[in-house]
Structure 1
């Protein structure tokens, strides 16, 4: 039976430029091409006929529908495909479309239109479903002068169920590029047709919507908003265009500078379209524009968790991926949180390992932040560069950052992995060129053919090499082979400068802009190659060109030549450059030379270009402090004033409540001693040396009768404090090294009332690795009498602060607190569960309806393993919208899992993920439940989702590793259960790379390796995970091989461990015990008795 035939139907006018691409894209797809021309003056008709089209002429009647319907009348095939001249069919989708027309019950199809947006070239794309394919029936006809539609006629004849969606079949549309819109004057044309339509019939919502869109495009925002409001009146929200109406109306409000109103509108309408990711992305963008960075981050996290919007929505590409990642990182960078931006890019790379752009951004941020060694250590820790391509990419990244020596490290790794090809030769040539090994550089660069994609880069480097060799004739000969263009002209001018001959005509302004990167690259490479004299010869090219002068100034600054940097930066700014980074560099130079006024002027000027640039604001403020300190330091007798100013006032009081904390208190107070001015210690009845220890640190000691109420004791400490700000810590906590200084450097501005820190709660046995749960806690706040703690247990102050000052007055600071109170040894020693239960039950006897107390009781019962009782209390405590609700739901799921109520647990997770879409721990629990159900495929998918999501945002109480090493490990277990050993082993290795102290993957990896490799190979691979010799590593290796039944191998490692133990009695005892166990499993009971003689 013959396949159904397809007619392509088009209407055109003056489309000679676009038509060839469109018609060529359907070669092999359509059986006839019908082109209706409505009055072309160019070569459109001739081109159409040449490409096989049947051309018919139809006078323009101010109606797209009439012209479309004329093309349908001429079609003779079974099916009709609709394209415009500025469309292009995806050739790879041709087989899919041919399959569609064989489906007997289908009458029509929506296809996916990919609208390219931008000025002259595509910058972003917007996808939406469009009716483009339908059966050739006489009653299927278009209506509407503009934005014509055929859906109604098909539905009336065949019903809704006959219309299908084929989002896998795509058409690229270029008609929304600004050059196309302007060329055809689409806005004026469409507006005129819509006004005619409005005058000719009773308007409907869709007509109002189209008018609103055209007024928005024309910049008439008041009129646009008027028609958007009319379009919404009595609208059926299930209409295909309704969701995009919401997006466009929000755009209109934003353009009218009503951004808060736009956010509120999007929030309201999001309930109608809860899976429309674009709405949340655009809320995030608006928050960014309003500088509400944390709110923006929350929205972007939600976008990433939601994923791409379903195909029935008009959706911009990247809003659930690349653009969301970039926007989130940008938000963190703007508030000075560059380390968080690094983590964002790491998560982005994990979500799509084939896209190495995030890796480049990570290196770009880390190098100035951490330095070269720490940057490389970070890369080694988080990324496993297992291929030559990956290592070559890293080499190129370090080259781009001006670090050829580090690029060589990764090049050598690529060579060890048998790198080859043009990419390898191009990278190697540049590395050796910049390191001065011109012979090896030439060997590599000369191997790249002119047809290679890497030829432009390599031939520029080869030209530079000839200059460095002073082989000027060879350089000239090479330049003569290049294609004419701006880059060739730039190099020819540079060549004449180096020869000190009469330079060629200078570049035009347009040529300067297009060649600025090439000029910057050229000068940078000369400086990296220590050829300052050659670089200086090229600098006249920059004269009078702000961008080139700025590039030169920044390069000299980065290479440590502040004299030349200052000259070129000053020249660039004077010539009109608005480069904020350059202004920062120049201001820094002025400050270091105590040229305070010049520094102030350059920062003030920069803030007119970029008022929100936080680094410039901080640098500007620092000038006044540095200037004052400099003056005071030169005046005798002002030492006390100098010391006062140098302490970064205001004063901070540390407030603590303690009991029997002599063991832990020194660690806590040592960690914070440089950040506080006063230490308030409230002792509730210590019987050890706690008070004496506190006195050694200069603390003010107060004794307080314990009343089984943590808030009462906390508030007593606050009452005793005299500082303007209060810092609250417990004795089993500490501030990590270096972060005490961050507390002093926090902007304690008038608009800020409190800061929340990230609490790292370590739990379990520390010798088994560092497992921890994160919380967000308010620990630094102004000393105001109305800011006091509430709740007898798990006391909080943040709710009181928000009630008084509002949410905006509480900020999140990049400061961590390490908390050791949940370690098993501490919990047992202090008998915390019994103490907490007594406090909670006493409080409940007085306030039985208190839901937070019920929640606290549920948590304690959960910790004791009483899951049924815990679940009962947690259900009684449930209340949406509380700051602990997400944790309450998490703990309810844990109870349901432990009680084997799996389906209820999964249902609760799905419901909760709507409210908490970026709470990775819930997704991880879903994977664990699937593992319990032996649904390993679903488990693997859940754990993979955890890795895409990354660690949960800091405002959740979250277990570290749920979006990292724990998820890698559990993904490995799920894959191994399906028989995918190779993939499982890769997951185990990634878990180890993410956390080398997490040892469980080693046991699982050993099991897989032992099934496929000889024992010596297994030993070799596992030993590579350790730094040997090391007694603990040998004991761990012994235990791993005990788990695989290789007891003789275990004994070998234990002998090595004994040799390394020295006089470490604890290690000697452990080794002896393990030897005894091994001897018993080998059947050597005499050896067992001998090994365990000291323990018997």
Structure 2
């Protein structure tokens, strides 16, 4: 501990912890009261050190004297709560380098701010605090041990330093500002210093200066930085205090996009609406706070924003609405799912929609796992339905169970985006005569590049009317039912996303293909209509059986199917011809399609590919230039892969230009997309190959890094995959190592799994290569030993 004139607080602090520690080291920076005598009475070793306007210096003086294996640091105005103190005796058995502990900061107004802080860490002479104020040690630990492991300890420290005399608080603020401004004037303009300087000005009441320094710090911060979320919250508070409510609302929406589960931001958003006297939106947003609940422990959060404070605000607004006779208009919403054996997906799906749905209907068609149990635990009403081989029948049964005015349809392997819940509420509350909405279905097909997805428009949000019914045994559809009853203008597109993850699981996808094919074979016999033929062809298309797929597609075209699927039908039929090397037929199919859909970039892209395969390079280049000029298609009109009119076309056009000897043109084209970091998995490989023709590999990688600036895990992981595909193991491992370093700073389980999956794939490939090279005479023991040696972070075969 470091202390100065803490005779009021020190006894309470030391009494709370004395029975669970082996030594107490106190650095006194100039006490003039009884602080030192009190410390000595608790058996503390007191070091008197002159104050040097640097908290880290004082902390490190104490660290140099510590003999224990573990260090716990506290301030005198803190008290360790008695619950779970026994865990401190269990530290030698813990496989961790440090522990985050929950700090409860209480002020005179009764507010409690919760935050996690690294307060317990292994004693190592290399680990030292940094920062003259608001000192930190985690960077020092990670610098000397990038693989350091941190865990959370279920220990609570109550901090009362924000309570007490306002004069004392003002003195502390002025002291802190003096230290921080001195560092700023000496040239330290790190985001952490700027953030702390802004926060002190906010506490002092100088809101314009606070906002100025938050604005300076913000561009330097990545979202994963530990205090980035807090900067957003404090900047919003600053704007509210300046009564700039519109800017506050815009900033809040930006940060909610980054941190959708940070309830404090949602609470602030509700407060902004309240200040603007928009009581209806304020009320709805406070209710969303209740549904979201208290913020996760990883955030610095105010206690009650997801519970009693939100409830109190709701009651206050309801009373205001009652007094002013303002009607509260709010449409209700039912989430409807049909499921079977979806225990791996069901919780993720329901949680993504629980904050916006008033009820959840799950129709189980015969699960043999824990799907139904998990759904009930999450508040769903679960109904059993005997599977009839017809998806529309199951969907319509779910609609019959729904009680709300509006219905939202999801599959178990789909999710909503939390930040769009408010948008869903807004559109159904203000729908007018609109009967349904086309949502933006994002079908992910790759796990590396977040741009690897296909966009589709689906009617999944609509009014719950008995005449609106699904049709189709498979790929069931309700839009035609709504249009037939209310007209084509009754369904409108809206920028609300459904993320579909089902195409990422290949074994499950194959099972679904087999099931769907069996259903459709029966449907084709009963009803040989264009839509059924198209659906049947698509099942064969997904299984790469292009000859069978094209026969069904051509029959559907012959019958003149409706416009809803016609563009995709031309596109997929032409792909079938391309895959079968029937280029002439493919070109003719594309030309027919472009006559009807000249703005469908996918057809232009495919047209260029067909000409390229016939070595008509100049013609292919001109067509792809037209594709780029067309851009990505309107999502509510066409189904298409993201980037088909931008980066995907740029990648193939660059390869074509390179083949024609126009390397400089190819390089300039790719650089336009690299600087935007669009479609890196498509753009980076041809760009690197061009660089390798001009420079050695080190220089080529250096230029690539300069263009992309890979500062986040996603970007580094993509580059690792790029160099894995290019067969550059040394460069690949460099990016894998950097990806791991970034993960250690901001751990995320799904990203660890991605990285581990890549490494395992590399290892298995190397093992397979070794096995191929074994002569028959080699002993089994030697084979096992050789293969085992490869299990070392994906070491390549040459090593």
Distance across 1 between alignment mates of 2:739 and 2:369: 39
Using the TM superposition, give the Cα deviation of residue 937 of structure 1 relative to its aligned residue in structure 2, in angstroms: 1.6
Which structure shows the higher helix fraction?
1
Matched positions, count: 480
1:988 pairs with one of 649, 664, 670: 670
2:470 pairs with one of 789, 795, 800: 789
Unaligned runs of 5+ in 1: 1-527, 530-556, 564-588, 597-628
Distance across 1 between alignment mates of 2:410 and 2:395: 10
TM-score (norm 2): 0.53
1:1092 pairs with one of 761, 771, 790: 790
Using the TM superposition, give the Cα deviation of residue 991 of structure 1 relative to its aligned residue in structure 2, in angstroms: 3.7
Could you tell me which residue of structure 2 aligns to residue 1005 of structure 1?
A: 687
Distance across 2 between alignment mates of 1:834 and 1:1045: 35
Cα pair 2:363 2:382 within 8 Å, conserved: yes
Cα pair 1:662 1:689 within 8 Å, conserved: yes
Is 1:833 the counterpart of 2:513? The answer is: yes
Using the TM superposition, give the Cα deviation of residue 710 of structure 1 relative to its aligned residue in structure 2, in angstroms: 0.3
1:124-165 per-residue CA deviation (whole Å, 9 max, x = no partner) reads xxxxxxxxxxxxxxxxxxxxxxxxxxxxxxxxxxxxxxxxxx
Cα pair 1:633 1:642 within 8 Å, conserved: no
RMSD over aligned Cα, in angstroms? 4.5
Alignment of 1:39-118 (within 5 A): none
Distance across 2 between alignment mates of 1:802 and 1:756: 12
Distance across 2 between alignment mates of 1:995 and 1:1031: 13
Query: Secondary structure at 1:1006's aligned position in 2?
Result: helix
Using the TM superposition, give the Cα deviation of residue 965 of structure 1 relative to its aligned residue in structure 2, in angstroms: 1.4
Query: Secondary structure at 2:568's aligned position in 1?
Result: helix
Cα pair 2:361 2:380 within 8 Å, conserved: yes
Is 1:775 the counterpart of 2:456? The answer is: yes
| Distance change >3 Å, CA 753–CA 949, structure 1 → 2 | same
Using the TM superposition, give the Cα deviation of residue 984 of structure 1 relative to its aligned residue in structure 2, in angstroms: 1.1
Distance across 2 between alignment mates of 1:757 and 1:658: 21
| Distance change >3 Å, CA 1077–CA 937, structure 1 → 2 | farther
Distance across 1 between alignment mates of 2:473 and 2:706: 51
Unaligned runs of 5+ in 2: 1-210, 213-238, 246-271, 280-311, 745-751, 774-781
1:65-102 per-residue CA deviation (whole Å, 9 max, x = no partner) reads xxxxxxxxxxxxxxxxxxxxxxxxxxxxxxxxxxxxxx
1:873-916 per-residue CA deviation (whole Å, 9 max, x = no partner) reads 11111214331111111111111111222122212222221211
| Distance change >3 Å, CA 1023–CA 1089, structure 1 → 2 | farther
Alignment of 1:430-579 (within 5 A): none
1:950 pairs with one of 631, 637, 648: 631
Distance across 1 between alignment mates of 2:578 and 2:626: 20
Could you tell me which residue of structure 1 aligns to residue 144 of structure 2?
A: none
Distance across 1 between alignment mates of 2:362 and 2:450: 32
Using the TM superposition, give the Cα deviation of residue 789 of structure 1 relative to its aligned residue in structure 2, in angstroms: 0.5
1:794-850 per-residue CA deviation (whole Å, 9 max, x = no partner) reads 11111111111111222112211111122243644x611100001101122222x32
Greater Cα offset, 857-866 or 797-806: 857-866
1:771-794 per-residue CA deviation (whole Å, 9 max, x = no partner) reads 111111111111111100011011
Quick check: which has more Rg, 1 or 2? 1
Alignment of 1:349-368 (within 5 A): none
Is 1:656 the counterpart of 2:337? The answer is: yes
| Distance change >3 Å, CA 816–CA 1017, structure 1 → 2 | same
2:435 pairs with one of 728, 743, 753: 753
Is 1:732 the counterpart of 2:430? The answer is: no
Cα pair 2:680 2:718 within 8 Å, conserved: no
Cα pair 1:1076 1:1091 within 8 Å, conserved: no
Cα pair 1:769 1:998 within 8 Å, conserved: no
Query: Secondary structure at 1:948's aligned position in 2?
Result: helix
2:604 pairs with one of 917, 923, 927: 923
| Distance change >3 Å, CA 988–CA 744, structure 1 → 2 | same
Distance across 2 between alignment mates of 1:693 and 1:1024: 48
| Distance change >3 Å, CA 651–CA 854, structure 1 → 2 | same
Distance across 1 between alignment mates of 2:713 and 2:320: 59
Distance across 1 between alignment mates of 2:468 and 2:359: 19
Query: Secondary structure at 2:497's aligned position in 1?
Result: strand
2:653 pairs with one of 958, 971, 979: 971
| Distance change >3 Å, CA 642–CA 988, structure 1 → 2 | farther
Could you tell me which residue of structure 2 aligns to residue 853 of structure 1?
A: 532
Distance across 2 between alignment mates of 1:1044 and 1:972: 17
Alignment of 1:562-641 (within 5 A): 633=316
1:555-584 per-residue CA deviation (whole Å, 9 max, x = no partner) reads xx9997889xxxxxxxxxxxxxxxxxxxxx
Cα pair 1:671 1:740 within 8 Å, conserved: no
Distance across 2 between alignment mates of 1:967 and 1:868: 26
Alignment of 1:1015-1026 (within 5 A): 1015-1024=697-706
Query: Secondary structure at 2:407's aligned position in 1?
Result: strand
Is 1:719 the counterpart of 2:393? The answer is: no
Cα pair 1:1006 1:1040 within 8 Å, conserved: no
Distance across 1 between alignment mates of 2:461 and 2:607: 36
Distance across 1 between alignment mates of 2:727 and 2:494: 50
Is 1:903 the counterpart of 2:580? The answer is: no
Distance across 2 between alignment mates of 1:636 and 1:559: 25
Distance across 1 between alignment mates of 2:789 and 2:540: 42
